[in-house]
Every structure is written in C-alpha cells, then in structure tokens.
Structure 1
Amino acid sequence: MFRALILKLQQLLISSPPQYLFYAGRVQVLNLVLFGLGNFWCSCILLPQHLRDHISRTSRQFFWGCSAGCRKMVYKSWDNICAPWAKGGFNVKNLTTWNQDHSIWLMNIGEHHPECLRGIIQTRDHCLAQLGSILQVKNMLQQCTVAGKFSIQHAYNALRTKYAVTECSKAIQRGFYLPRHRVLLQLASQNRLVTVDHLASRGLHMVNRCYLCQRNSESAAHLYFYCSYADEVLQAIKQWVGINTSDTSLQQLLSSANKRRIRRHWRIQWVQNSIAATVYSIWSERNLRIFENKCRSSLALIRDIQYTVSTILFVKIQDAFHEDILDNFLASRR
C-alpha cells in the first residue's frame, strides 16, 4: 500500500543528489518533500510507525550526505535539526509530530476504523506527555483556533519539542541571509563545524594545524578569532561596518551586532550579512586550501565579501530606500 509513497520519496531525493548540495540546499529539498508528504498522505491516513521511521531515516541520510552502504558522522541530533531557526535548528518538518497532529481532527472515528482509533489514542497520549493534563490539552486546542478554524501549524508548534531561544539564534533567524550563509552561521555559532579538533574527538586523528595561518592547531575559536589570516579579514570587515567590539566567540559577535542601536533597517541587515558572509568565506577559504590546494590573499577575500554583501543589499532591500543612497554609502566605505 505504501510502496508508491516510498518510491516517490526516493525519486524526489535522488533527483537532487546531496553531494552536489550544501546543507542549505538539502534543507530546502527536505522541507519541500516532507511538506508535500504532510499535506497529501498525512491528511488522508495515519502512517504506520515503521513507515514514519523509514521516512525519517531516509531524510537524515539525505541531510548528512550518506550514500548507499556508507554512513556519515552526525554533528547535530535530528530533533535539533527540526527545531525552529530562532531556537538553533533548521526548521525541517518532523514527520512523526506532523502526522500525529493531523490524526487529532482529520480522522473519522468509527467502530469499523480500529487503526484510526489506535492512532487517535497514540496522539492523545503524546499530547498528554507533552502538556501534562487533559485541561492543558484542551487549552492548547483552543489556542490553535484562528478565526474560527483549527490551525495545524499552531498545533504542530505546540507539540514540538521546546527549545531555549538565544539572542544568537534570534539574530540568525531575523536577517535577510543567503541560505548557505544562514546554515553555516548556525552551525558555527553552535561549534558544530567539522574542524580538526572536532574530528579528533570522534576518533579520527590527523595532523592538527590551521590551514590558513599554518602556525597553530585548528579549532572553531582559533579559526575565526586567533588565526592571523582570519583575524585580518574579520577586523577589516568590522571596520567596514563600524563595529569596534573585542569579541572572542561568534555568539558574542552576533549579540554585539544585534544590540547595536541602528535606526535604519538596511544598516542592521548590512552588519548582519557582513558577519555571515565573513564566517562563510573564511570557512570556504579553509576548505579550498584543503581540497583543491588553492588559496586567496586576505585582501582578495575581503573584496569578495564586500561585493557579496553589497549585492545582497541591492537585491533584497532596494525597495526600502533609494538605491543611490546605498550606492554612495557603500562607495564611501571602500
């Protein structure tokens, strides 16, 4: 019965090979595929547990780039991947929670529907485990009613795992970032980048050195704040956007940028995109030296970051102000 669903899922994911996509692209593909499954299949029937586990396993393998018969290291739990952007995740749909949400109000209960009734009971138990009592479940259902209609999205948010909201994650959620910049910034802020010291903690030992400065051992903190090459790039970009703080971590840098009193909205986006583009470019330069044996000077990397940020501002925020004002301002900062 569910063979068509499995084949369709495999066709959709195979059409976008993960090895050719960055994490941001994989997030987009997964959201499209899982959202389509949630709207069509989950609204019609309650999927069996083994099928939901199979879909979740296939989604995890696609996200981490696993090929047939090979496994990849996992640097972030799937529950955290499914968390909202503001709470440190990538906002991927959790099919188990999504399917349980639908079973509360879309399934018709009857004596000839034992499978549906079991699904309703499982969902009830899940709601009680999440919320604590029947009264809280009723209150949640009332709060999920918008303009007299039940909202599946509100119920999904109420039943999903609760995560702490940080200032760093809120800054990442609000900005007009490129998808690849947003995903890498989220990973870097949580110390989830695959640096040499991270690989050593997983049992993969190799020569621990920074590929940018060739002097010290590599870690996420060293890569962005203690490496002479990266520090030159970061200080130049901070001077370009007018940041004078002395930060020792990405969390401090993002919090400092988020707390600055800037009246114009486009200037806030200018600062946030500059930080995100710098983090992404330094990581890309590091990978370029490792895998392709190519390198760029710090001045070339700074120019590339400035060009990227200027392009983002022109394309995404040009309706908010006159284009000549931004053009003259960026020209004066070069």
Structure 2
Amino acid sequence: MAILDRLPIQDRLQRMGMNVEQRCLMCEIGLESRDYLFGYCTYSRQVWTTILCMCNIEREVYCWDMELQWLCAKLKGKSLLVFVLKLGWSSFVYHVWEERNRRKFRSLSRDVGSLLDSIRESIQLRVQNSHILLNDINRKLCDNWRIFV
C-alpha cells in the first residue's frame, strides 16, 4: 500500500475532498504525505538511519523515491544482510505507519528508541528461526541486532 501511495494519509484524504489537518503527526512540522512521512519526517528519518546503521550501512537518507531506488538495487541475493535489510525496510514502513495511527486514533506515542525496540524484536524473531552461516560479517550484523544464534 505504501509503495503504491494508497495509504489514507492526510494529503491523499484532502485530495479526495475530506477536510483533514495535514500536519505530520510524527514530527508536527511538515505536511503529512507518504513522501514526507517515510522520507523527510525527522522521526522517521531517525528510525530508518538507525536501521541502516545496525546493518552496518552508512549513507545519507534522502527521500522516499531515492530510498526505494537504492533498496531495489541492494536487495538482491540471499545473504543475511539482504534478508535483514528487507526485514528492516518492511518493519520500518509497518511500524512507522502503526505509530502514526497510534498517535492519530489513540493519542498514544512512543519515542524513537521504543519504536526501534519493536522493530528489533520482530527482526530478531524472524532471523533466529532461519539457518545462519556465522562468518565475521554475519556475526557483526547479529551483534548489532542482538540476535543470538
């Protein structure tokens, strides 16, 4: 849904004729759109940058479209890094959207650290149930994610 820009985000709802406030619920700075929520928002950007760091990837995070292009180029192969990066991206989108909805509908919020703990836990469960060849690269990746195999 996020890739197809079909999420019921504020700017999309307004284009459909609904009267909604467009302020980003995560950072309360920008106007909420898919590109803003998953690319420019300081809260989301901090989450995604941390996920990349835990994958031992240091790069400048730009915008939604550039991240998708970069991921399409990187998410090839069957390495543990590719597996974790795929899980990291999908968890990022899922958990940020979930957090946005918690704030909108339940008036509850979590800080970046708590959200990252949820993402880490979901990735730990998936990776621990797979067969991992522990070389030096995979060991460092597992240490970063606190995955014990």
Superposition TM-score, scaled by structure 1 size: 0.39
How many positions carry a matched residue from both structures? Answer: 143
Alignment partner, residue 103 of structure 1:
none
Q: Deviations along 1:202-259, whole A, 9 cap, x unmatched?
A: 111122211111122211111011111111111111211133253311x432332342
Alignment partner, residue 241 of structure 1:
55
Give the 3 Å change call, closer, same or farther, for CA 261–219 of structure 1 in structure 2.
closer
2: CA distance, partners of 1:261 / 1:298: 25
Post-superposition offset of 1:293: 1.2
Give the 3 Å change call, closer, same or farther, for CA 326–248 of structure 1 in structure 2.
same
2: CA distance, partners of 1:312 / 1:333: 12
Post-superposition offset of 1:306: 1.4
Moved over 6 A (4+): none
1: CA distance, partners of 2:74 / 2:2: 22
2: CA distance, partners of 1:202 / 1:230: 25
Q: What RMSD in Å do the two structures reach over aligned CA positions?
A: 2.4
Residue type at the aligned position of 1:321:
L
1: CA distance, partners of 2:27 / 2:94: 17
> Does 2:122 align with 1:308?
yes
Select the structure of larger CA radius of gyration.
1
Higher relative contact order (CA 8 A, sep 6+): 2
Give the 3 Å change call, closer, same or farther, for CA 261–293 of structure 1 in structure 2.
closer
Q: Which 5+ residue runs of structure 2 have no aligned equivalent?
A: none
Larger fraction in helix: 1
Superposition TM-score, scaled by structure 2 size: 0.83
> Does 2:33 align with 1:219?
yes
Alignment partner, residue 294 of structure 1:
108
Alignment partner, residue 256 of structure 1:
70
Q: Which 5+ residue runs of structure 1 have no aligned equivalent?
A: 1-186
Match of 1:268 among 78, 82, 88: 82
Alignment partner, residue 277 of structure 1:
91
Post-superposition offset of 1:263: 6.7
Identity over aligned residues, as a percent?
Answer: 22
Alignment partner, residue 321 of structure 1:
133
Post-superposition offset of 1:275: 0.7
